[in-house]
Structures are given as structure tokens and as C-alpha cells.
Chains A and B, each alone.
Chain A
């Protein structure tokens, strides 16, 4: 009987591996050393997730370098690396689904996914009361992305009357503060234009449909590099504002929240977190402790 069960388990694993791409590599942490499953954290997961073996994640896949598709169509990026590093610790897989940024919280409310993990800026998607956020990245908005040919933005007041491109549902304290300065100087405020996906935003900046896009060290550097000279970053003109990011977990999923928090804490303790952030030039925006915010 025991033998039969063992056989069934082997068969199930084989079938599971066939269904998932790159099964072998997924069970290892990014450093290559197999991480042991933490039974305490695994047991914190809701029974439904343990039974299913996957945490369903809503991610806006067009947000390089946090989450995007590799050349062979696999989800990659800083967030994806963190998820893959958590998999062996929690003993479940993360099944990533592509959504729009604005659609993440509604999809969580519709119970389509278990968590939202997509470099979510708490200031933009938070405050609904529907989800808690596990704070894991804490950058500051401090630079302006413009087309290389654009020489019209040199000082703070040059931003007045300019049009900025945003993703739907985004908010920005930095541009609000800049607009306040403009009004005080008797100049027009910054204008906003909203787009669905990040590539639409970047294209609008490149083509001059908008003047600029707010940025911070991690994504700004990536855009400039990917654009092959079509874009540049302007520093020191935009008021700094915190851009604290978190993993969204529905408020009624305290077990899942505790498991993810414990897992991320483990990654910080064993150095995996720091290695992943370094890979994406995100070392300056890391946190020392995972905190919870609404």
C-alpha cells in the first residue's frame, strides 16, 4: 500500500513537471543551492493553496525590470526572482497571470488571484481597505524621463505646463508638489495623460506625445538602456517623494500574509534578497524588515 502511494506520488510529480516549464530549475533558489522547505511557513498557507500547490499571482507583466517576459516568453524580473526564491521555502509554486496595473485590486476582490505582486505602489493602489501590503521595496521618485532631444527641462519650474505620462491608477506626490510650486509662481500646473501599459507610456515619451515620465533609479536606468539612446533621465528637477511598494494580500488572508512575510524575511536573512536586488540595480531601494501597511 505504501509502495503504491509512493509510486502515485512519483507519477504525480512527473505529470506536474511535464505541465510546468523548466521544472528542474524552479526548485532551486537563484543561487543554485536547494533551500529547505519551512514546514511552519507552509502550514500557515490556507488549505486551499496547499491543496492546489500554487499561489495565483496577478502581475502587470509589462513593467521591466520588475516583471516582464524573457526572450523565450518566461516571466522574469526582480519580483519574479523573489517569487522563485520563495517557492522552495513555502513549498508551493507561484502561478503568474498577466493583468493591467489598474486591474489588480479588482481581480483580487473577484477572488481570481490570491495575491497581487507587481511593484505595486501603495500610495496609488492602497487605501481601499480590501488588501494589506507587505512592504518589500522602498524607492523614491526623484527623476524625470524625457526624450534625448528634449532640452526644455533644466530646472523645477521648467516642469510647469508640461504633460506627464502615467499608467492608469497611478498617483504621484512628486508632480503634485511640483504643480503646487508652479501655481505659486503663477505658472500652469503639470498635465497628466493616462495609458494602459508601460510600453505605451514609454512610446509616448519617445514620440513626443507627452513631455516626460516620472522615474526612479531602478526603472529609469532600465528604460534609458533599453531605448538605445532615445531617452535620458533628468535629475534634480522633481521634488522627491516616497514610492513605497508592497505585495497586495486580501485582508481576509492572514495566514497567507504571515507565510509570505516570513518567507521574505528568510530571504533577507540568508542574503538572497540582497543578491536579487543587486542583479537589477535595486540595492539602494531595499528594506531591512518586511512591514505591513494598508
Chain B
């Protein structure tokens, strides 16, 4: 019982990998050969133009673009986490109206193509020329301004990407909480654990085990979605290389420059995700406690 509940450890197959077998040698040779073919072709291909790649890799325009991509990703993800948490709470709540609202939100934001959403937000002034705070249904407004002064390219990008991503994150959060065994919640209640302790000590750490890998891969997705903001002329990484190749037409080398930066950023995010997963890994012996708690219930 205890064994079947223990999280499969990642060490066993590492041990077997240390043994040098003929198949390992063969696959290593095949790997080196494949890399050599691709690398030599890439180095010799004139269209790739590595001198242009080196020229722009650390240019100030590209570095500024990369910094803006990081900033945009953080802002979008913050909005995504906030809206995702609200929607997940609505979906899991007992209020039927709340559930309908949650489902409608997800349906809307997952249906509209991401690019179309960005263009919609950016051109919102066509539909609503004024941004008003006040009494609805034609009532007096406390504060009003031109929609275009509020809906800057940055605002449109953050809303378009953040709200869209929130619809997906809601699902990640929901699956995390659903993965926690009901029995444990009942057990904790039977033990008289206060509600706050139940959420923080029992539900959250276990839910995070499911949430962390999924949310991590969504975050990587968000990072790359920010490239869409280039159509709104937000000076992020892709836009910064576009602004260079619209003058020089060295399109492929500059797209490779952007790719190199995205790979670096995704690499860092992967480390972050790994750290998060390790943090919420079930400690040794915890499974026994859990089973103990279940037995009590």
C-alpha cells in the first residue's frame, strides 16, 4: 500500500544509464554524427551568414528587446495567474452563477485566436471610443478619457496575452486541486485541522506537485506568445530584430539571433521549473504519514 503510493523516484534509471552498454555507445555515435551533419551544413550555408549573427547578437537594440520580452512576460504572467486563480475558484466553487461565469470566460478566451485578441484589444477605441469609470447604463461618469490613451500597445499586449493565458492556467490550477485526494481533506477535517492549515499544509503542497510542471510549461508558452506583441509594435525581442532586418533584409540571421535569446530564456525557465518541482516533491516517508491519515479517516 505504502509502496504503491510513493512517487516513483527518478534515481533508478539514472543508475542503469551509468552502465556502458553497446546500445549506449551506438546511440552516442549516432548522436554525434547527426549533430556533426547539421552543424557543418549550418556553418557552411551562406544564407545563415554567421558574421551578421555575431554582429547583432549583443547589439543594444536586441538587448533592449530581450529585456522588454522578460518584462512583458512577467506582466502577462502576473495577470494570467491572477485571472486564472479567480476563474479556477469560480469553477470549483459551489455558486452555480460563478461556475457559469467561469465557463463563459474560459470558452471566450480559449476560442478567440491569440493574434485576433491582440488586434481586438488594441483597436478597442473603434467600439468604445471613451474609457469611463462611473455609473453604467448611460449614468454620469466620474472619470473619462480617450480609450486610445489607456489602450497603449503595452496595455493591449498584456490584456490580450494575460487574459488568454489565465483561461488555460485556471485549468492547470483546477487539475492541481482536483488531484488532491478527497479522503485527505476529510481526514484533516476529522482531525480538526483549521481551514487555513488545511489549505496551506495539506492541499497546496500536493496540488503544487501537479501544478508546477504544467504551469511551468505554460509559462514557457507565454514567453513565446509575447512575440505576437510585435504586430502592435511593442519593442520586444522579435520586433527588435524585425526593425533591423526591415532595413538590411538579413532576415534569417536576425531570426537566429532572436532564437538564441529565446533559447537562453527558456533554459532559465526550465531551471526555475525544476527547482519548483524539487521543492514540492514528496519528502521521504511522507507517503506513510498520508496513509496513516487516511487510516484515521
- Pick from A61, A107, A109: contact of B243, CB below 8 A: A61
B231:A100 contact, CB within 8 angstroms: yes
A110 at the interface (CB under 8 A from B): yes
A111:B249 contact, CB within 8 angstroms: no
Within 8 A of A (CB), among B119-148: 123, 125-126, 129, 146, 148
Bound: A197/B244 CA distance, A: 13
Which of A198-206, A242-250, A252-260 contacts the other chain?
A198-206
Within 8 A of A (CB), among B226-255: 231, 233, 242-249, 251-252
* Chain A residue contacts of B126, Cβ below 8 A: 106, 109-110
B129:A226 contact, CB within 8 angstroms: no
B247:A99 contact, CB within 8 angstroms: no
B155 at the interface (CB under 8 A from A): no
A38 at the interface (CB under 8 A from B): no
* Chain B residue contacts of A223, Cβ below 8 A: 249
B146:A111 contact, CB within 8 angstroms: yes
A interface residue count range (under 10 / 10 to 19 / 20 to 34 / 35 or more): 20 to 34
* B227 CB to nearest A CB, Å: 13
B233:A73 contact, CB within 8 angstroms: no
A225 nearest in chain B by CB position: B249
B179 at the interface (CB under 8 A from A): no
A110:B125 contact, CB within 8 angstroms: yes
A62 at the interface (CB under 8 A from B): yes
A235 at the interface (CB under 8 A from B): no
A98 nearest in chain B by CB position: B233
A107:B249 contact, CB within 8 angstroms: no
B254 nearest in chain A by CB position: A199
* Chain A residue contacts of B123, Cβ below 8 A: 106-107, 110
- Pick from B125, B129, B246, B252: contact of A62, CB below 8 A: B246
> Interface 1/0s, chain A 41-85, versus B by CB < 8 A?
000000000000000000001111000111101000000000000
Bound: A203/B125 CA distance, A: 34
B239 nearest in chain A by CB position: A98
B214 at the interface (CB under 8 A from A): no
Bound: A111/B124 CA distance, A: 11
B68 at the interface (CB under 8 A from A): no
B61 at the interface (CB under 8 A from A): yes
A227 at the interface (CB under 8 A from B): yes
* B13 CB to nearest A CB, Å: 43
A70 nearest in chain B by CB position: B247
Bound: A69/B242 CA distance, A: 10
Bound: A5/B284 CA distance, A: 75
A63 nearest in chain B by CB position: B246
B233:A99 contact, CB within 8 angstroms: yes
- Pick from A64, A100, A107, A110: contact of B247, CB below 8 A: A64
A111:B242 contact, CB within 8 angstroms: no
B61:A97 contact, CB within 8 angstroms: no
* Chain A residue contacts of B146, Cβ below 8 A: 111
Within 8 A of A (CB), among B148-188: 148
B148:A226 contact, CB within 8 angstroms: no
* B255 CB to nearest A CB, Å: 9
Bound: A62/B251 CA distance, A: 12
* A232 CB to nearest B CB, Å: 14
B247:A68 contact, CB within 8 angstroms: yes
B251:A73 contact, CB within 8 angstroms: no
* Chain B residue contacts of A106, Cβ below 8 A: 123, 126
A156 at the interface (CB under 8 A from B): no
* Chain A residue contacts of B246, Cβ below 8 A: 61-64, 68-69, 197-199
B148:A62 contact, CB within 8 angstroms: no
> Interface 1/0s, chain B 31-72, versus A by CB < 8 A?
000000000000000000000000000000100000000000
Residues of B within 8 A of A (CB): 61, 123, 125-126, 129, 146, 148, 231, 233, 242-249, 251-252
Between-chain CB contacts (< 8 Å), 17 pairs: A61-B233, A61-B243, A62-B242, A62-B243, A63-B246, A64-B246, A70-B247, A71-B247, A73-B61, A97-B233, A110-B123, A111-B146, A111-B148, A197-B242, A199-B246, A203-B249, A226-B249
